[in-house]
Chain A
Amino acid sequence: MNRRNFIRLSTTATGGLAIAMTVPAVAKGVLDKESFVANVLTEIHADGSITFMLTKHEMGQGTGTGVPMIFCDELGANWDTFKVVQALHDEKYKRFQGTTGGSSGLSSMWHPLRQMAASTREILIRSAARHWGVSRDGLYTENGFVKNPSTNAKVNFGDLVSIAPKVEIPDTDEIKLKDLKEFKLIGHGVQNRITPKIVRGEKHFALDLKRPGMVYASIERCPVYRGKVKTYDETACRQVKGVIDVIRVPEIYEDDDFIVRDGVAIIAQNTWAAMQGRKALKVEWEPGLNGSANNASLTKKMRALASVSGEKSNDYYGNFGDVEKAISEADEVLTATYENPYHAHACMEPMNGIAEFKDGHLEVWSTMQNPNWASEQITKYVNVPVENQTIHILPAGGSFGRKFYPEHVTEVAFLASKLNAPVKLTWTREDDIRCDYNSAFQHDNHSVALKDGQVTAWHTNVVSTKSWSPEPWFPYVVPNKLGEQHIIDSPLTPGAWRSVGAHRAAFASEGMMDEIAHKLGKDPLAFRLEMLGREIELGEDAQKHYNQPYSVDAIKKTRQVLELAAKKADWGKRMSRNSGQGLAVYRFSRSFCAQVVEVNVRRGKLRVDKVTAVLYCGTAVNPHLVKGQIEGAIIWALTSVLYGGMDFKDGRVQQSNFHDYKMLRMNETPEIEVHIVPNTDPAVGVGEPGVPPFTPALMNAIFAATGKRIRKTPLDMAELA
């Protein structure tokens, strides 16, 4: 991950807190005839309804429901008349409009929104006090009213809009946040806001919109990352019925995080004609530096680095003690390599967007996790300054990190700038699978020193293609630890995938934990608990590492989710022949998830019977949606184990669509049980934490059932035979 991205990420990760300190919760109250503008996101209308601007991106994680719930509940407003409007990309929302990603959508808004809502609540209470001529003490809000328990009087928020701007704005220390027990929505749940529209098939995605006179585009892109168009012949293409134009789309390469592939766009009267036109286009490619890459050559490169020391990994992991010495003095050293292939996102909604360029003004409708970045790219590469852009952010039909990369927005904006009609760009499924921003190809090499039945040192050497952090992490107490990494150039476009790098690191370290437990003849659960609470002699650096609040907290929560998962899954119960239970735990962002997987393996056939997941996610704002995210994450991870992995040859991804890049289907889905650790902490992310523990828990279960240790995904069924 380069520096620019780091800054972008850390702004999201910490921006929330910064906002909480600085947002004057009620901006200068303005009486706009019929409504009270409480702050940049909220307007209270005279009829009592409220309009709330959603600045986060709804991609299927329920963010578009959860975020407004926080505000509505803290305020004591009426959810039924709480209107949520997706905000345009706008400077005025800057502090709330950073990237939606890294499972931060809700957590970054939790505190600032509650502060803003509590402040608005205080204003309304003061307004009601003035309205009744009573003291504000004892007044409270509920369901869109301010209530006075001593007189049983109540007044609708809407009736206070003309008084509200006149009352004094409360100081920060006069604002009191609600106790979790007082919440009516948070923790109880409401219906996903998109459900009523979706079941009727109403327009919802950018792909559903239409502009008058709109034309349709499909782009033939170079199948090799960084390759170029050598020559192309559009003669036959122009003869295809419905084809209007052919436009060369030159490559934009900023760095590995932002690339518009070199290609040729077909413009037509409808999507189908554009796709047909593409088939008639003749292009010869110049494959460039990645033109000879394939799985085998990359694997070879990775293996060659397995025992070469690399750069030290992050402090999260912890580097301390003398690993070399401990290894040399060990009774035994366990070593293993865990291998991860590239994966595609394969969101059901392919990349798409609409753009219209008129009189120097560009209007765009698309799906994006990162509107600031999209806008920046349009300024830079389509030469439209921010003040001449209107960017509509539409919900995504799945994103999982894919729509963080806004090249589809740049592509369609570029096409619009060349046309005098609005244009809709649709990626085909083939484009989507072949030109994805893939998760990294990664080998995790672990060496663990054992002496007198104890783990004395842990060495990790991660070899990964360029990507976001490979994220080696674990909470277990080890006296000597060294994490190293090699980040090498990626022959496929590198990107962030659901759970970023955590799924790869978890597969290895939680697999390793299982290997050590079995080696030492210990129960995998008991061994983990022991490793979390070891009272052993630690050097100064190690003590410092384990005493930092982050580590203390991680140990506590890891233990919590593990113990509950074991209990819920009846860990250690008798299993029938050929069946086994496997366990794993991991953290993502500030959430923790433990899973117990039960499998049956007979005659080389794997059946995943049940998955029990326990999640710590702070306050579960919308428990039904939270559980859905964990179910989805498990299905996501199981898909990657069974069907994942890009095959590439001559730099070209070999798969192209759902027949050869398969997805798990209903008939293959195991029973999934999700439990949430009850607690009153601030809400943290839920979209990704369910992914990392699944694969190691599954492989550990396969080991329990068969004695076979699988250290590579996708799973080669022949290994189970």
Chain B
Amino acid sequence: MISIKVNGQNKQVEDDPQTPLLWVLRDSLDLTGTKYGCGIAQCGACTVLLDGTAVRSCSLPVGSLSGKEITTIEGLAKDDTLTDVQQAWVEEDVPQCGYCQSGQIMNATSLLTRNSNPSDEEIESAMSGNICRCGTYSRIKKAIKRAIKS
């Protein structure tokens, strides 16, 4: 039994400690907003926050996480109020297929927590770990800039 804290709640999971957090979230905890894209830390679809910082949950064994705060896309909005980043995503109407977007939002959230006013280059370099096969990059960038302003 491993104890982890997800979106403010304590959870007990029976998965093998080697199991990547991604599969624990999706299969054991039914938090499926976090997506599988590559499994090898290349695409960012599985991005969650670990103590506020973006990490790739596909490459993080759950056994290493006891006592840490994990935030997933489901945990961003508080009482149904979207965060600035989510709201900016709505206003720019970013998604095409939507599959990569939770990872993008989590990474953008982490970026803006670290740096409240990133330059274009800083946005590009921070977001370059997240693939969007549909090619929504320009709208992601716009959404991040909108979130900065709000």
Q: Chain A interface (Cβ within 8 Å of chain B)?
A: 59-62, 191-192, 194-205, 207-208, 210, 216, 241-242, 270-273, 275, 346-350, 395-399, 426, 428-429, 624-625, 628-629, 631-636, 657-659, 663-669, 672
Pick the residue among A59, A200, A429, A664 that contacts B77 (CB under 8 A): A200
Whether A635 lies near B97 (C-beta < 8 A) is: no
- How far is A273 from B27 in the complex, measured between Cα atoms in Å? 11
Nearest B residue to A210, CB-CB: B30
- B96 to A272, Cβ gap below 8 A? no
A-B contact pairs, 15 of them (CB 8 A): A199-B101, A200-B77, A202-B33, A207-B36, A270-B27, A270-B28, A273-B19, A347-B133, A395-B98, A397-B97, A398-B133, A628-B139, A657-B38, A657-B42, A658-B37
Q: Is the CB of A60 within 8 A of B27?
A: no
Within 8 Å CB of A668, what residues of B? Answer: 128
Is A658 touching B43 in the complex (CB atoms < 8 A)? Answer: yes
User: Residue-by-residue, is B62-93 near A (CB-CB < 8 Å gives 1, otherwise 0)?
Assistant: 00000000001110110000100010011001
Which chain B residues border A207 with CB–CB below 8 Å? Answer: 32, 35-36
Q: Which residue of A lies closest to B26 (CB)?
A: A271
A204: nearest residue on chain B (CB-CB)? B98
Type the 1/0 row for B41-76, where 1 means its CB is closer than 8 Å to any CB of A. Answer: 011010000000000000000000000000011101
Q: A349 and B97: CB pair below 8 A?
A: yes
- Inter-chain contact B135/A635, CB cutoff 8 Å: yes
Q: Is the CB of A199 within 8 A of B23?
A: no
Q: Is the interface of B mostly helix, strand, loop or mixed?
A: loop
Q: Does B131 contact A (CB under 8 A)?
A: yes
With A62-B96, A657-B42 in contact, do A348 and B133 touch (Cβ < 8 Å)?
yes
For B74, list chain A residues within 8 Å (CB).
200-201
Further contacts, 20 of them, CB under 8 A, given A198-B98, A666-B124: A60-B134, A195-B93, A195-B95, A196-B90, A198-B89, A200-B33, A200-B74, A202-B33, A204-B98, A346-B133, A348-B97, A350-B36, A395-B98, A397-B97, A398-B133, A399-B97, A428-B39, A633-B135, A665-B127, A666-B128
Which B residues lie within 8 Å of A634 (CB)?
135
Contact (Cβ within 8 A) A241 B39: no
Instruction: Kindly list chain A residues whose C-beta atoms are within 8 Å of the C-beta of B4.
Output: none
B82 proximity list for chain A (CB < 8 A) = 199-200
Known interface pairs A272-B27, A426-B36. Does A395 touch B73 (Cβ–Cβ under 8 Å)?
Answer: no
Chain B residues near A216 (CB, 8 Å)?
27
A346 to B127, CA, bound (A): 20
A200 touches B73 (CB 8 A): yes
Residue from the list A199, A201, A659 in contact with B90, Cβ < 8 A:
A199
B98 in contact with A397 (CB, 8 Å) = yes
Interface residues of B (CB under 8 A from A): 15-16, 19-20, 23, 26-28, 30-40, 42-43, 45, 72-74, 76-77, 82, 86, 89-90, 93-102, 105, 123-125, 127-141
Q: How far is the CA of A428 from the CA of B43 in the complex (A)?
A: 13
* Contact B124 A667, beta carbon cutoff 8 Å: yes
Q: A521 CB to closest chain B CB, in angstroms?
A: 37
Say yes or no: A666-B137 contact (C-beta < 8 A), given A270-B23, A271-B27, A658-B38. Answer: yes
> A665 touching B40 by the CB < 8 A rule?
no
Chain B residues with CB below 8 A from A669, complex form: 135, 137-138
Distance, CA A626 to CA B146, complexed state (A) = 22
CB contact between A632 and one of B34, B38, B96, B125 (< 8 Å): that residue: B96
Please determine whether B89 and A195 come into contact, CB atoms closer than 8 angstroms: yes
Q: How many Å lie between the Cα of A198 and that of B130 in the bound state?
A: 16
Q: Hey, which chain A residues are within 8 Å of B28, CB to CB?
A: 270
Q: Choose from B37, B90, B98 the contact partner of A429 (Cβ within 8 Å).
A: B37
Give CA–CA (A298, B134) in the complex, Å.
30
B135→A61 contact, CB < 8 A: no
Interface contact A191-B135, CB-CB below 8 Å: no
Bound-complex Cα distance A271 to B30 (A): 13
In whole angstroms, what is the CA distance A612 to B136 when docked?
17
**Which of B40, B43, B129 touches A348 (beta carbons < 8 Å)?**
B43
Q: With CB as the reference atom, state the residue of chain B lying closest to A58.
A: B97
Q: Which residues of A contact B90 (CB under 8 A)?
A: 191, 195-196, 199
Shortest CB-to-CB span from A215 to chain B, Å, is 10
Give A540 Cβ to nearest chain B Cβ, in Å. 46
Report Cα–Cα, A205/B132, bound state, in Å: 16
How many whole Å from A428's CB to the nearest CB in chain B? 7
Whether A635 lies near B137 (C-beta < 8 A) is yes
> A666's contact among B19, B40, B133, B141, by CB below 8 Å, is which?
B141
- CB-defined contacts of B125 to chain A, threshold 8 Å: 667
B134 to chain A, nearest CB (A): 5
Task: Give chain A residues whose Cβ lies under 8 Å from the Cβ of B102.
Answer: 198, 201
Q: Are B96 and A666 in contact (CB under 8 A)?
A: no
CA A204 to CA B72, docked complex, whole Å: 16
Minimum CB–CB distance for A399 against chain B, Å: 8
In the assembled complex, the Cα of A667 lies from the Cα of B93 at a distance in Å of 21
Q: Which residues of A contact B36 (CB under 8 A)?
A: 207, 271, 350, 426
CB distance from A431 to the nearest CB of B (A): 11
CB atoms of A628 and B96 under 8 A apart? yes
Give A63 Cβ to nearest chain B Cβ, in Å. Answer: 11
> How long is the Cα–Cα vector from A72 to B139 in the complex, in angstroms?
27
Give complex CA distance A659, B40 in Å. Answer: 9
Contact A61 B96 (CB under 8 A): yes
How far apart are B105's CB and chain A's nearest CB, in angstroms?
6
Q: Which of A59, A348, A624, A628 contacts B45 (CB 8 A)?
A: A348
A331 to B101 CA separation, bound complex (whole angstroms): 57
The docked-state distance in angstroms from the alpha carbon of A636 to that of B101 is: 17
Q: What's the least CB distance linking A261 to chain B, in Å?
A: 20
Question: How near does chain B come to A638, taking the closest CB pair, in angstroms?
Answer: 9
Q: Return the chain B residue nearest A630 by Cβ.
A: B135
Question: Is there contact, CB below 8 Å, between B19 and A201?
Answer: no
The 4 tightest CB contacts between A and B, nearest first, are A201-B33, A397-B99, A60-B97, A201-B73
Give the docked Cα–Cα distance between A210 and B27 (Å).
Answer: 8
| Docked pose: A350 CA to B43 CA in angstroms | 13
**Contact between B138 and A348 (Cβ–Cβ < 8 Å)?**
no
- Cβ–Cβ < 8 Å partners of B128 in chain A: 665-668
A195-B23 Cα distance, complex, nearest whole Å: 24
- Give the residues in chain A near B98, CB-CB below 8 Å: 60, 194-195, 197-198, 204, 395, 397
Contacting residue for B16 out of A241, A633, A636, CB 8 A: A241
CB-CB under 8 A from A202, the residues of chain B are: 33
User: Is the Cβ of B134 less than 8 Å from the Cβ of A398?
Assistant: yes
Please name the residue on chain A nearest to B88 by beta carbon.
A199
Set of chain B residues within 8 Å of A273, measured between Cβ atoms:
16, 19
* Chain A positions within 8 Å of B132 at CB level: 348
- Using CB atoms, name the residue of chain A closest to B72: A201
A216, A397, A634, A657: most-surrounded residue (chain B CB, <10 A)? A397
CA distance A633 to B133 in the complex (A): 10
Q: How far is the CA of A199 from the CA of B88 in the complex (A)?
A: 10
Residues in A with CB closer than 8 Å to B23 are 270-272
In the bound complex, how far is the Cα of B26 from the Cα of A628, in angstroms? Answer: 30
- The answer to whether B40 touches A657, judged by C-beta atoms less than 8 angstroms apart, is yes
Alpha-carbon distance A395/B98, docked complex (angstroms): 10
Residue of A nearest to B31 (CB): A201
Chain A residues lying within 8 Å of B72, measured Cβ to Cβ, are: 201
| Pairwise interchain contact B19-A672, C-beta atoms closer than 8 A | no
Q: Is the CB of A199 within 8 A of B136?
A: no
Q: With the chains together, A625 CA to B31 CA distance in Å?
A: 29
